[in-house]
Amino acid sequence: MIPLPDDADLLADADAVARAAADRFVALCEASPEGAIAVCLSGGSTPKRLYALLARPEYADALPWARLHWFFGDDRHVPWDDPESNVRAAQDAFGDAPIPPGHLHPIPTGGALEADAATYESVLKAFYGAETLDPDRPLFDLVLLGLGEDGHTASLFPGKPAVEESGAWVAPVPEAGLAPFVPRITLTFPALASARHVLVLVTGASKRRPLERLADGEDLPAARIAGPVTWLLDRAAADA
Protein backbone atom coordinates (compact mmCIF):
# COMPACT_ATOMS: atom_id res chain seq x y z
CA MET A 1 0.00 0.00 0.00
CA ILE A 2 1.19 3.48 -0.91
CA PRO A 3 1.75 5.79 2.08
CA LEU A 4 -1.28 8.08 2.13
CA PRO A 5 -1.23 11.85 2.36
CA ASP A 6 -1.90 13.40 5.73
CA ASP A 7 -5.61 13.43 6.57
CA ALA A 8 -6.72 10.81 4.07
CA ASP A 9 -9.74 8.53 4.13
CA LEU A 10 -9.38 5.20 2.34
CA LEU A 11 -12.61 4.02 0.75
CA ALA A 12 -13.51 0.75 -0.97
CA ASP A 13 -14.07 2.05 -4.50
CA ALA A 14 -14.97 5.06 -6.64
CA ASP A 15 -18.63 4.92 -5.63
CA ALA A 16 -17.67 4.95 -1.96
CA VAL A 17 -15.42 7.96 -2.58
CA ALA A 18 -18.27 9.82 -4.27
CA ARG A 19 -20.64 8.97 -1.43
CA ALA A 20 -18.13 10.01 1.23
CA ALA A 21 -17.67 13.34 -0.55
CA ALA A 22 -21.44 13.81 -0.89
CA ASP A 23 -21.98 13.06 2.80
CA ARG A 24 -19.29 15.57 3.77
CA PHE A 25 -20.83 18.13 1.45
CA VAL A 26 -24.30 17.76 2.97
CA ALA A 27 -22.80 18.02 6.45
CA LEU A 28 -20.92 21.23 5.66
CA CYS A 29 -24.06 22.74 4.16
CA GLU A 30 -26.03 21.84 7.30
CA ALA A 31 -23.31 23.38 9.47
CA SER A 32 -23.09 26.52 7.37
CA PRO A 33 -24.68 29.63 8.89
CA GLU A 34 -27.13 31.59 6.72
CA GLY A 35 -26.08 33.09 3.41
CA ALA A 36 -24.41 31.86 0.25
CA ILE A 37 -22.42 28.63 0.13
CA ALA A 38 -19.67 28.73 -2.49
CA VAL A 39 -18.46 25.49 -4.05
CA CYS A 40 -15.48 25.20 -6.39
CA LEU A 41 -15.92 22.23 -8.71
CA SER A 42 -13.09 20.17 -10.15
CA GLY A 43 -13.08 18.81 -13.65
CA GLY A 44 -12.05 15.56 -15.25
CA SER A 45 -13.84 12.26 -14.85
CA THR A 46 -13.47 11.47 -11.15
CA PRO A 47 -16.01 13.94 -9.75
CA LYS A 48 -18.75 13.02 -12.26
CA ARG A 49 -19.98 10.27 -9.91
CA LEU A 50 -20.23 12.82 -7.12
CA TYR A 51 -22.13 15.36 -9.22
CA ALA A 52 -24.57 12.70 -10.42
CA LEU A 53 -25.03 11.53 -6.83
CA LEU A 54 -25.80 15.05 -5.62
CA ALA A 55 -28.52 15.31 -8.26
CA ARG A 56 -30.26 12.17 -6.97
CA PRO A 57 -33.16 12.74 -4.57
CA GLU A 58 -31.40 11.18 -1.57
CA TYR A 59 -28.93 14.08 -1.70
CA ALA A 60 -30.71 16.70 -3.78
CA ASP A 61 -33.50 16.81 -1.21
CA ALA A 62 -30.97 17.57 1.53
CA LEU A 63 -29.14 20.40 -0.22
CA PRO A 64 -29.93 24.12 0.14
CA TRP A 65 -29.90 24.78 -3.61
CA ALA A 66 -31.04 28.39 -3.23
CA ARG A 67 -27.90 29.15 -1.17
CA LEU A 68 -25.42 27.21 -3.30
CA HIS A 69 -23.15 28.92 -5.84
CA TRP A 70 -21.07 26.72 -8.11
CA PHE A 71 -17.71 27.85 -9.44
CA PHE A 72 -14.99 25.98 -11.34
CA GLY A 73 -11.40 25.40 -10.26
CA ASP A 74 -10.34 25.20 -13.87
CA ASP A 75 -11.62 24.59 -17.33
CA ARG A 76 -10.47 23.86 -20.79
CA HIS A 77 -10.64 26.97 -22.97
CA VAL A 78 -13.25 25.49 -25.26
CA PRO A 79 -16.95 26.27 -25.84
CA TRP A 80 -19.17 25.29 -22.92
CA ASP A 81 -20.91 22.66 -25.06
CA ASP A 82 -17.62 21.10 -26.10
CA PRO A 83 -17.18 17.46 -24.97
CA GLU A 84 -13.95 18.52 -23.24
CA SER A 85 -15.61 21.33 -21.26
CA ASN A 86 -15.79 20.93 -17.49
CA VAL A 87 -18.92 23.10 -17.55
CA ARG A 88 -20.59 20.64 -19.91
CA ALA A 89 -19.43 17.68 -17.80
CA ALA A 90 -20.88 19.24 -14.65
CA GLN A 91 -24.17 20.20 -16.34
CA ASP A 92 -24.53 16.73 -17.84
CA ALA A 93 -23.84 15.12 -14.46
CA PHE A 94 -26.07 17.46 -12.46
CA GLY A 95 -28.86 16.93 -14.98
CA ASP A 96 -32.02 18.70 -13.81
CA ALA A 97 -30.73 19.58 -10.35
CA PRO A 98 -32.50 22.80 -9.23
CA ILE A 99 -29.58 25.20 -9.64
CA PRO A 100 -31.15 28.68 -9.68
CA PRO A 101 -30.33 31.01 -12.57
CA GLY A 102 -27.10 32.90 -11.89
CA HIS A 103 -25.85 30.33 -9.38
CA LEU A 104 -23.65 28.43 -11.85
CA HIS A 105 -20.54 30.47 -12.62
CA PRO A 106 -18.74 28.94 -15.60
CA ILE A 107 -15.29 30.14 -16.57
CA PRO A 108 -15.73 32.28 -19.71
CA THR A 109 -14.12 30.76 -22.79
CA GLY A 110 -15.43 32.86 -25.65
CA GLY A 111 -12.72 35.51 -25.67
CA ALA A 112 -8.93 35.65 -25.56
CA LEU A 113 -7.39 33.31 -23.00
CA GLU A 114 -5.84 36.03 -20.84
CA ALA A 115 -8.97 38.20 -21.00
CA ASP A 116 -11.24 35.31 -20.02
CA ALA A 117 -8.99 34.51 -17.07
CA ALA A 118 -9.11 38.15 -15.95
CA THR A 119 -12.89 38.17 -16.33
CA TYR A 120 -13.23 35.12 -14.08
CA GLU A 121 -11.00 36.72 -11.49
CA SER A 122 -13.36 39.70 -11.54
CA VAL A 123 -16.34 37.37 -11.11
CA LEU A 124 -14.71 35.79 -8.06
CA LYS A 125 -13.77 39.15 -6.56
CA ALA A 126 -17.25 40.55 -7.11
CA PHE A 127 -18.78 37.50 -5.40
CA TYR A 128 -16.24 37.72 -2.56
CA GLY A 129 -16.66 41.47 -2.23
CA ALA A 130 -12.98 42.33 -1.95
CA GLU A 131 -9.80 42.52 -4.02
CA THR A 132 -7.63 40.55 -1.59
CA LEU A 133 -8.24 37.27 0.20
CA ASP A 134 -8.69 37.48 3.96
CA PRO A 135 -7.32 34.37 5.70
CA ASP A 136 -10.16 34.65 8.19
CA ARG A 137 -12.84 34.80 5.49
CA PRO A 138 -12.44 32.02 2.92
CA LEU A 139 -13.61 32.53 -0.62
CA PHE A 140 -15.08 29.03 -0.85
CA ASP A 141 -16.95 26.82 1.57
CA LEU A 142 -15.78 23.78 -0.35
CA VAL A 143 -13.08 23.24 -2.96
CA LEU A 144 -13.03 19.96 -4.88
CA LEU A 145 -9.79 18.90 -6.51
CA GLY A 146 -8.46 15.91 -8.41
CA LEU A 147 -5.02 14.47 -9.05
CA GLY A 148 -3.61 14.11 -12.53
CA GLU A 149 -1.31 11.24 -13.49
CA ASP A 150 1.54 13.77 -13.76
CA GLY A 151 0.79 15.17 -10.32
CA HIS A 152 -1.16 18.20 -11.49
CA THR A 153 -4.29 19.50 -9.86
CA ALA A 154 -6.84 21.85 -11.37
CA SER A 155 -4.88 23.00 -14.42
CA LEU A 156 -1.71 23.61 -12.43
CA PHE A 157 0.74 21.43 -14.33
CA PRO A 158 4.34 20.60 -13.35
CA GLY A 159 6.80 23.22 -14.55
CA LYS A 160 4.18 25.66 -15.78
CA PRO A 161 4.20 29.31 -14.60
CA ALA A 162 0.69 29.22 -13.12
CA VAL A 163 1.94 26.87 -10.37
CA GLU A 164 4.10 29.68 -8.99
CA GLU A 165 1.43 32.40 -9.24
CA SER A 166 0.98 33.92 -5.81
CA GLY A 167 -0.96 37.13 -6.53
CA ALA A 168 -3.59 36.46 -9.16
CA TRP A 169 -6.59 34.32 -8.25
CA VAL A 170 -6.99 33.03 -11.81
CA ALA A 171 -4.33 32.30 -14.42
CA PRO A 172 -4.25 31.46 -18.13
CA VAL A 173 -2.53 28.20 -19.06
CA PRO A 174 -1.60 28.42 -22.76
CA GLU A 175 -0.08 24.93 -22.83
CA ALA A 176 -1.63 22.08 -20.88
CA GLY A 177 0.80 19.54 -19.49
CA LEU A 178 -1.57 16.62 -20.06
CA ALA A 179 -4.39 15.75 -22.41
CA PRO A 180 -6.60 17.34 -23.47
CA PHE A 181 -3.87 19.54 -24.93
CA VAL A 182 -5.98 22.65 -25.20
CA PRO A 183 -5.37 25.96 -23.43
CA ARG A 184 -6.80 26.08 -19.93
CA ILE A 185 -7.85 28.60 -17.32
CA THR A 186 -7.13 27.71 -13.71
CA LEU A 187 -7.54 29.07 -10.25
CA THR A 188 -4.19 29.53 -8.55
CA PHE A 189 -3.07 27.97 -5.29
CA PRO A 190 -3.89 31.04 -3.16
CA ALA A 191 -7.47 31.00 -4.45
CA LEU A 192 -7.86 27.23 -4.12
CA ALA A 193 -6.54 27.36 -0.55
CA SER A 194 -9.06 30.04 0.47
CA ALA A 195 -11.57 27.43 1.59
CA ARG A 196 -13.29 26.09 4.69
CA HIS A 197 -12.92 22.57 3.31
CA VAL A 198 -10.81 21.09 0.52
CA LEU A 199 -11.62 17.58 -0.71
CA VAL A 200 -9.20 15.83 -3.08
CA LEU A 201 -10.88 12.89 -4.81
CA VAL A 202 -8.49 10.24 -6.13
CA THR A 203 -9.65 6.92 -7.58
CA GLY A 204 -8.25 4.21 -9.81
CA ALA A 205 -4.94 2.45 -10.30
CA SER A 206 -3.73 5.14 -12.69
CA LYS A 207 -3.23 7.44 -9.70
CA ARG A 208 -0.83 5.11 -7.88
CA ARG A 209 2.25 6.66 -9.49
CA PRO A 210 1.45 10.29 -8.62
CA LEU A 211 0.52 9.18 -5.10
CA GLU A 212 3.86 7.37 -4.78
CA ARG A 213 5.69 10.45 -6.05
CA LEU A 214 3.85 12.61 -3.53
CA ALA A 215 4.69 10.13 -0.76
CA ASP A 216 8.35 10.35 -1.85
CA GLY A 217 8.19 14.09 -1.25
CA GLU A 218 8.35 15.27 -4.86
CA ASP A 219 7.35 18.89 -5.23
CA LEU A 220 4.50 18.13 -7.61
CA PRO A 221 1.77 20.72 -7.97
CA ALA A 222 -0.60 18.51 -5.97
CA ALA A 223 1.88 18.66 -3.09
CA ARG A 224 1.02 22.33 -2.82
CA ILE A 225 -2.70 21.78 -2.19
CA ALA A 226 -3.33 23.70 1.03
CA GLY A 227 -6.08 24.66 3.39
CA PRO A 228 -8.19 22.28 5.52
CA VAL A 229 -7.56 19.33 3.16
CA THR A 230 -8.96 15.82 3.24
CA TRP A 231 -7.93 13.26 0.62
CA LEU A 232 -10.61 10.72 -0.31
CA LEU A 233 -8.92 7.78 -2.03
CA ASP A 234 -10.11 4.37 -3.10
CA ARG A 235 -8.19 1.13 -2.63
CA ALA A 236 -7.33 0.92 -6.30
CA ALA A 237 -5.50 4.25 -6.16
CA ALA A 238 -3.80 3.47 -2.86
CA ASP A 239 -2.86 -0.05 -4.03
CA ALA A 240 -4.41 -1.26 -0.78
Instruction: Examine residue 158 and tell whether it contacts ligand 6PG (CB under 6 A).
Output: no
The stretch near ligand 6PG (CB under 6 A) out of 19-27, 28-36, 58-66, 152-160 is 152-160
Omega into 180 within 30° of 0, i.e. cis? yes
Contact 194, 138 (CB under 8 A): yes
Interatomic CA distance for residues 237 and 240, integer angstroms: 8
Closest C-alpha among 71, 238, 237 to residue 144: 71
The verdict on 227 binding ligand 6PG (CB under 6 A) reads: no
Smaller CB distance to ligand 6PG: residue 153 or 194?
Answer: 153
Q: Which of 40, 46, 163, 237 binds ligand 6PG (CB under 6 A)?
A: 46
CA 105 to chain centre: 13
Nearer to ligand 6PG, 134 or 212 (CB): 212
Q: State yes or no: residue 154 binds ligand 6PG (CB under 6 A).
A: yes
Q: Is 45 in the site for ligand 6PG (CB under 6 A)?
A: yes
The rounded distance, in Å, linking the Cα atoms of 55 and 94 is: 5
Size of interface with ligand 6PG, in residues (CB under 6 A): 14
Would you say how long the chain is, in residues? 240
Identify which of 111, 87, 110 has the alpha carbon closest to the alpha carbon of residue 99.
87
Spatial separation of the C-alpha atoms in residues 143 and 229, rounded to whole Å: 9
Site string for ligand 6PG, 67-86 (x = CB under 6 A): -------x-----------x
Using CB under 6 A, pick the residue from 5, 146, 177, 210 that binds ligand 6PG. Answer: 146
In the complex, least distance from residue 96 CB atom to ligand 6PG, rounded to whole angstroms: 24
Q: State the residues that interact with ligand 6PG by CB under 6 A.
A: 42-46, 74, 86, 146-148, 152-155
